[in-house]
Amino acid sequence: MEYLTLFISAVVVNNFVLTRFLGLCIFFGVSKNLNASIGMGMAVTSVMTLSSMLAWVVYHFVLAPFHLQFLTTVVFVLLIASFVQLLETIIKKQAPALYNMWGIYLLLIATNCVVLAVPLLNAESNYTFLMSVVSSIGSGLGFALAIVLMASLREKLRLADVPKPLEGLGIAFILAGMLALAFLGFSGMISL
Amino acid sequence: MKNLWKIYKKGLIEENPIFVLALSLCPALAVTSSVINALTMGLSVMFVITMNNTVVSITRKFINPKVRVPVYITSIATIVTLVQLLLQAFAPALYKALGIYLALIVVFAIILARAEVFASKNKVIPSFFDGLGMGSGFTLAMVSVGAIRELLGAGSLLGFKVLGAWYNPALIMILPAGGFILIGYMVAGFKMWTDHMAKVKLERGEA
């Protein structure tokens, strides 16, 4: 039950994009195209889950026992960046088909705020291993949900008549604002 | 001297990190619900970007280009940790308010971008001013967003009541949704203004 609450809270109530403003660069950059955003959502979810597992192990078996918590930021950044690089190399060799689909997104998220934020938040909240896995999967799916919704909205927007200065980024922000407003309806559903 | 001023000024308007380059948007929304948070974040970023540009510029001749990105990231992360520790020691309330976003300065695209585009190719002093200019542009954008949101959302500025009791605060401005919508209009306004300036310049025959 506890895990279910954590999961739902990560997906909709505390949606990373729409209530915590993380991962906006990819969110606005990739959401022009629906297929690309589905790929991106999947890539972010898997990288986030794997890297937060890795980060949990490092935090609880290396950083915490030696009281090196002040190094968390440095260690996590390097850990995640090198892990993503490694993942890219492995996928390229072992599963070229998968690489063709996702490869380009992997490098984009190597140093992305949302991928770094989840392990940091998990470490901060002192989650157990299982809890941090559940919360990372939830956060990843929440990101995927937001980006897919946004991409479908933006595809419709192509036919709309937008005032010239608002074209591009401006209208995208306003759309995101509307989405955030809609997601506000979920707040209060679960309080953690 | 004039050249340095030019480098500095570029970051303020023409290449404003938030409104024009649209880099590092996450913090622009997340911590701008009040002016003081926005200002602290802006100054922290300014410090990190200036220091990092200096470090990258000093070390640019010794670092093998193949490993430059990891080196930049390590340097940025070290400076960010420094800022974190300083704020934690001297301004614990602000440290708490900024929370995770302070650690996330590490992955701000703008910092890495300046290191790669400018500092790795230029001498120390121009790099320092480039960082200062970009940092100032960032701070300026953060504070202006923060001021509008705090004024409309709480009727105050820097915690002081500015608008009287007659003002009914629009809570939405403090909430995430208001932040998104406001930035949308600000980006549009900035675009209109720069387009207008470019037109004026063209008419004068300067461009």
Domain presence at residue A105: yes
Provide the number of structural domains found in chain A.
Answer: 1
C-alpha–C-alpha distance, residues B207 and B199, integer Å: 9
Question: For B58-111, what is each residue's pLDDT tens digit?
Answer: 888 888 877 787 888 888 889 988 998 888 899 888 888 887 888 888 877 788
Domain presence at residue A120: yes
Question: For A54-107, what is each residue's pLDDT tens digit?
Answer: 889 988 888 888 888 788 888 888 888 888 888 888 888 887 877 776 666 776
CA distance A99 to chain B (A): 23
Count of pairs with CB atoms under 8 A, one residue in A, one in B: 119
- Supply the pLDDT for residue A72: 82
As a residue count, chain A comes to 192
Whether the pLDDT of residue B16 is over 60: the answer is yes
Whether the pLDDT of residue B18 is over 80: the answer is no
- Supply the pLDDT for residue A5: 82
CB contact under 8 A, A180 and B81: no
C-alpha–C-alpha distance, residues B126 and B57, integer Å: 9
- Supply the pLDDT for residue A191: 59
Q: Which residues of chain A make contact with B26, given a CB cutoff of 8 A? A: 21-25, 113
Domain presence at residue A52: yes
Find out whether A80 and A55 touch, Cβ atoms under 8 Å.
Answer: yes
Provide the number of structural domains found in chain B.
Answer: 1
Whole-complex ipTM: 0.78
Domain that residue B106 falls in: 2-204
Share the mean pLDDT of chain B: 81
- Supply the pLDDT for residue A111: 67
Selected residue of B52, B78, B100, B185 to mutate for chain A interface (largest A Cβ count, 10 A) = B100
Domain that residue A87 falls in: 43-145
Whether the pLDDT of residue B207 is over 60: the answer is no
Q: Which of A124, A113, A90 is nearest to B106 (CA)?
A: A113
pLDDT level of residue A118 (50, 70, 90 thresholds): confident
Residue B171 CB burial class (10 angstroms; 0-12, 13-18, ≥19): exposed
Residue B191 CA to chain centroid, in angstroms?
A: 18
Whether the pLDDT of residue A192 is over 60: the answer is no
Q: What is the mean pLDDT of residues B171-197?
A: 82
Question: For A9-65, what is each residue's pLDDT tens digit?
Answer: 888 888 888 887 787 777 877 777 888 888 888 888 888 898 889 889 988 888 888
CB contact under 8 A, B176 and A77: no
Residue B145 CB burial class (10 angstroms; 0-12, 13-18, ≥19): buried
Q: Both tokens of residue A40?
A: 């991106």
The DSSP secondary structure of B121-189, one letter per residue, reads TS-HHHHHHHHHHHHHHHHHHHHHHHHHHHHHHHSEETTEE-S-TT----GGGTSHHHHHHHHHHHHHH
Whether the pLDDT of residue B24 is over 70: the answer is no
pLDDT level of residue B164 (50, 70, 90 thresholds): low
- Supply the pLDDT for residue B28: 67
C-alpha–C-alpha distance, residues A138 and A143, integer Å: 9
Share the mean pLDDT of chain A: 82
Q: For residue A46, give every residue at least 6 positions away whose Cβ sits within 8 Å of its Cβ, in sequence order, or none.
A: A140
